[in-house]
Every structure is written in C-alpha cells, then in structure tokens.
Structure 1
C-alpha cells in the first residue's frame, strides 16, 4: 500500500539505471538527467550587482517523452554562505521528432516562458517563442539560454534577457556539477 504522500504511479527519477526506462524521444537529453548543483553570478544593468548565487537543477523523467525541470537558487555572501532563497522555476523539456526541443518554464515571480531550440551534441541552445506574465511580474520581453555539458561533468548555463526596458543582455552564468 502506498503512503498518503505518494501517487499510485512511479515517481520521476534522476537515475537512468533504475526506474522506468528513458523514453526514446528523450535520448538527445539523456546527459542532462540528474541533479546538478553549483554556483554562478547574476547581473543586469538595472540591479546593483553582480551577485553570487548557488543553484540546484533537477532534471527527472518517468518514462514519458519529456523531462521534468526544477531549478532553485539562493543568494550567497562573499564567503559563500547562504543569504536567502532566490529564483525558483518549474517546467518541462519536450524533445520533438525534428530534433528541436521545447522548454516550458513557470517562475515563482509570475512569469511563464516557452523556449524552443536545438540540441547539438552536448549543447542545448534555446530562445523564447513567448513570454507571459502576471500584472505584478517584471516586464520580460525575451530570453535566451544555453546549457553546455563540458569535461568533468560540468554543466555550464548562460542566460540572456531583454527586460525592464533593456535590450538582450547577459543576466546569469553558472557552473553546475552533477551530484546525482
């Protein structure tokens, strides 16, 4: 019998060696499946930065043709101690038959983004097709993201944004290491 906290279906997994097999459509994303943690820098012309942050990115699957995405970030002081929680986003990576990939993200700040892009080896380049925001969210017009898996299982993330009246500008860089 399952506990009241669990659903009657298998939980998503970040381990490709156990649980349901990875859906064939997700093979181009298989290197991303896991739990990644590291740090980076956030800056933008409209903030008093740069700021250091920590981040954990979890990409999991349940055997269907998409990956579940959850990224949580926290601000760090100069010594690397946690100051407070920062960004939190949830979404799905959806590989397409033509080799492209869609990334749907919902941010705790009231922004929803639909990215589309390409997979080239161990690099994923994505740009927004649309951005929807609540009345109280920042005025975000567009974004671009790049995820690249390098040597020693390091995932490098770069994000550019056009928001609050500023043209597309680099906003975030991070280096994440696989922890699971």
Structure 2
C-alpha cells in the first residue's frame, strides 16, 4: 500500500491507494459518483471494470465518461504497472472533487499507443508524490486526457492563477 501526498497533515481523504483488484487485461475502471452509506457514516465509492480492446481504449473511456453518474474513468493497461491504475483512480477522484467536474479520463501509465490527441483532446501530466516502501517519496506521473472544453477551462484557470508563466 502506498500513500500519496495530501493537502496537509490532517487531510486523510484519498490518501491510501485503494485495494482494487484489477485483471491483467486492457479495459476501463469506471468510477461512479459516491453515494452516502448511512450505516458506515461516510460516502461509498463503487467502480466497475469494463474489458475493452486496446485499440479503442480512449474512445470507450470518453464514451463511458459521458454517462450520467460517472465521476472518473481510468484507462487500465493490463500488461503494465497495476499500481498505476490505482494511483490514477485516486488522482481522478481528487481532481473531480476539487474541480467539481465529472467524467474525467485518466491513465496512470504512459500514453504510448493511445491516440490522446484525437478530436482535439489534450494529454496533461499531473505529478504526484507517492510514499513507497523504503521510506522515500517517489514522483509518479498520471495523465489526464482532456476534451477541448476541459482543456480550455484548465488553461484559463492557470492563467488567472499565474501558473502559466515560464522563466
């Protein structure tokens, strides 16, 4: 189990990578909007795995992301690093909560072989620090593939915050 960097010492939301069992095959991890679990006294997250052929992963991901009640979709590459998909799931949930956006499409590993720029989409890297065994923070990269309107909003927000300036 790994720990991702939180928003402060008291922020325990989305810190531990979920113990999601993923098959060694390509597909999508479709994360639904959380529902309130009255017995547990906390939100309950449900995710389904949909097997999808490697050649249509991103098209299927954007199709799934547009469905009502979908919070985030993670592109899972079965023969790759299984932890990467778990990390992308956590990052996707945090991004969805912070941005109040739904239907985000993420990939925990490299985008090699995926057409991430089809129909004006833009891949954006999110750097995450992960606490690995051995007591060390390790930087990992999670890719969000943004539709053109999401990308424009993201760029506009960065400009307002002054994050687009280059030295």
**TM-score under structure 1 normalisation?**
0.29
More strand by share: 1
Structure possessing the higher radius of gyration over alpha carbons: 1
Greater RCO (Cα-Cα under 8 Å, separation 6 or more):
2
More helix by share: 2
**TM-score under structure 2 normalisation?**
0.30
